[in-house]
Amino acid sequence: MKSSRKKFKNFKSFFVVGHYLTPVLRKTIIEIINESKRYLEGSELILIYWWPGVEKSELAKEASEKGITVHEIWMAGPINQAKIHGWYKNLNHYIDTNIKAFLKIQKIFRKNSKFNCALTIFHTPWYAEFLALLAARPRKLAVKFFTSTEPFVPIHKKIALALNSIFLNRLIVNSNEAKKFAMSLGHIFSKISIMRNIDIVARQFDKYKSDGNIVRKEFGIDEKAILVGSVSRLDPTKGHKTLINCWKKVQERFPKSRLLIVGGSIYGEKDPYLIQLKKIVKDSNLEDSLDFAGLRENVNDFYAAMDILVHPSIFDLFPFTILEAQSMKIPVISTKVGTIPQMISNGKEGILVEEENENELADAIIKLIKNKNERKIMGENGYKRNTKTWTAERAAKSCINLYNDVIERKWTKDYEC
């Protein structure tokens, strides 16, 4: 990377990131920013909070401890959400909050005007990225990492994303499926590149530095009981209903088995979807065998406690949960959607079923509960597949190569981390 050091001597990268991130995503951001600093004049973090008054993100603290300059920006999200959740006092307050956010971002780039600045957007909602893109203009380079998994996008959001793409030099996706999805939202084909495995390094946990007993004790799960787990944000696309509905059949065969659903949303206990799921559990008399753990920092301990991971997505482009479980040698049961069949060979690293098929999912869970040796073999196979290809350094180099190609106006290409 010697030539890259010389080429980027007067170059700084600014990572624009939304505040709502899981621990593993925070680790991803920090590692890539720090690795990028080796080749640039500097890499800084612009952390955008989606509404005023939200609790400060752990990312700000963790990044600062690693020597990364952090700029914290508070804004107000879409006005319809702001009204519902009381994120603003009145219309003037709402507008004022976003104008101040815009000016703060603009000030950051004016202060760094002597540098060629790259704006790299990662896990940020469309309204926040629009604000950042507008405030950063005119800049030489703007790149966005696209990881959306929403199957049904309202027309106003499609229009907004299409407008945002005008400001972008390059949109980065992690699979061919994600590329097709991005194009369906109005992103321009010639601006899309695939960068595979960009998030994998932070999703590799150390099984021997995790303590599953902590989790089992918290939820009163016997050490000999088979624990089936699900880890994802609470969203209808993740297939929680299918999993809960199939659990009654599993319980009939294995009444001592337990199901633990890990994950939350920005709405906490008031989330309408969570309320709906809990009602299904109560109506099905599954409260003694099924628990909701909410959003957790020590997700590695939860994986360590599990015997089987189930990820029953209805729609998913690149589910990182599968990578996390594989790094912990846990067999995975999932669906045949998105890139999942590229992550799991059916019968080798896990079992694949059709989405929203309760009977097929229940049968797959029962099969693995019955066969301890098969669980072990699948877990080992998943671990080997997961851990052999990726490092933070390779991801950072791919980012630098991407910046270089955009500056030199090279045609869109794909990158392998």
Determine the longest span between alpha carbons in the chain, in angstroms.
68
Q: What is the mean pLDDT of the chain?
A: 82
Neighbours of 350 (CB within 10 A): 29
How far, in Å, CA of 414 to CA of 398, rounded? Answer: 10
Place of tokens 């107000």: 76
Q: What is the mean pLDDT of residues 231-242?
A: 93
Rounded average pLDDT over 260-275: 86
Is 90 exceeded by the pLDDT of residue 119?
no
At 336-349, the pLDDT tens digits run 998 899 889 999 99
Residue 309 CB partners (closer than 8 Å, separation 6+): 228, 229, 230, 231, 303, 321, 322, 325, 330, 331, 332, 333
Q: Is there a single domain that holds both residue 100 and residue 224?
A: no
Query: Is 183 strand, coil or helix?
Result: helix
- Contact between 87 and 167 (Cβ < 8 Å): no
Q: Are residues 188 and 220 in the same domain?
A: no
Is 189's pLDDT higher than 90?
A: no
Q: Is the pTM of this model over 0.75?
A: no
Which has more pLDDT, 124 or 77?
124
**CB–CB of 357/373 below 8 Å?**
no
Cβ contacts of 28 within 8 Å, gap of 6 or more: 198, 199, 201, 202, 203
- What pLDDT, on a 0 to 100 scale, did the predictor assign at position 8? 63
pLDDT over 80 at 386, yes or no: no
Q: Are 377 and 215 in contact (CB under 8 A)?
A: no
Same domain, 186 and 210: no
Which of 169-183, 187-201, 380-394 has the least mean pLDDT?
A: 187-201
Res 1: pLDDT: 44
pLDDT of residue 3: 43
Q: What's the domain count of the chain? A: 2
Mark whether 397 and 374 lie in a shared domain: no
- What letter represents residue 406's amino acid? V
How crowded is residue 72: how many other Cβ atoms within 10 Å of its Cβ?
A: 15
The length of the chain in residues reads 417
399 and 328 in one domain? no
Which region among 7-11, 169-173, 205-209 has the lowest average model confidence (pLDDT)?
205-209
Confidence class for position 82, pLDDT limits 50, 70, 90: low
Predicted local confidence at residue 162, as pLDDT: 75
In a shared domain, residues 163 and 242: no
Question: Which pLDDT band holds residue 6 (cuts at 50, 70, 90)?
Answer: very low
pLDDT digits (tens, 9 = 90+) for 348-370: 999 999 999 999 999 999 999 99
Is the model's pLDDT at 309 over the cut of 90? yes
Alpha-helical (H) ranges within 284-391 are: 299-305, 320-327, 340-343, 358-370, 372-387
- DSSP class of residue 231? E
Which candidate, 359, 330, 356, places its Cα nearest to that of 207? 330
Spatial separation of the C-alpha atoms in residues 16 and 122, rounded to whole Å: 6
* Crossing angle between the packed helical segments 358-370 and 240-253, to the nearest 10 degrees: 50
Query: 78 and 12, same structural domain?
Result: yes
Burial label for 310, CB within 10 Å (0-12, 13-18, 19+), is buried
Give the range among 31-45, 87-101, 278-292 with minimum mean pLDDT: 87-101
Best mean pLDDT range from 113-117, 232-236, 244-248: 244-248
Least confident of 65-69, 85-89, 134-138: 85-89
Question: Does 381 share its domain with 407?
Answer: no
pLDDT of residue 79: 57
174 and 290 fall within a common domain: no
Q: Classify 335 as helix, strand or coil.
A: strand
Model pLDDT, residue 410: 64
| Enclosing H/E stretch for 142 | strand 141-145
Q: Are residues 108 and 191 in the same domain?
A: yes
**Contact (Cβ atoms closer than 8 angstroms) between residue 144 and residue 163:** no
Phi, psi (deg, nearest 5) at residue 264: -145, -165
Structure tokens at 247: 């659990």
Give yes or no: residues 239 and 311 share one domain: yes
Residue 146 has pLDDT above 50, yes or no: yes
Q: Can you give the CATH number for the domain in which 126 is found?
A: 3.40.50.2000
Domain that holds residue 360: 205-387
Residue 375 has pLDDT above 70, yes or no: yes
Spell out the residues 6+ positions from residue 43 whose beta carbon is closer than 8 angstroms to its own: 12, 13, 14, 15, 33, 34, 36, 37, 68
- Judge residue 319's burial from the number of C-beta atoms within 10 Å of its C-beta, 0-12 exposed, 13-18 middle, 19 or more buried: buried
Q: Which residue has the tokens 């939202």?
A: 185
* 69 shares a domain with 31: yes
Residues 301-316, mean pLDDT to the nearest whole number = 95
Q: What is the pLDDT of residues 289-302, one digit of tens each?
A: 999 999 887 888 99
Is the CA virtual torsion 197, 198, 201, 207 positive or negative? negative
Q: Quote the pLDDT of residue 185.
A: 75
Instruction: Assess whether pLDDT exceeds 50 at residue 371.
Output: yes
The pLDDT, as a whole number, for residue 308 is 98
> What pLDDT does 202 receive?
47
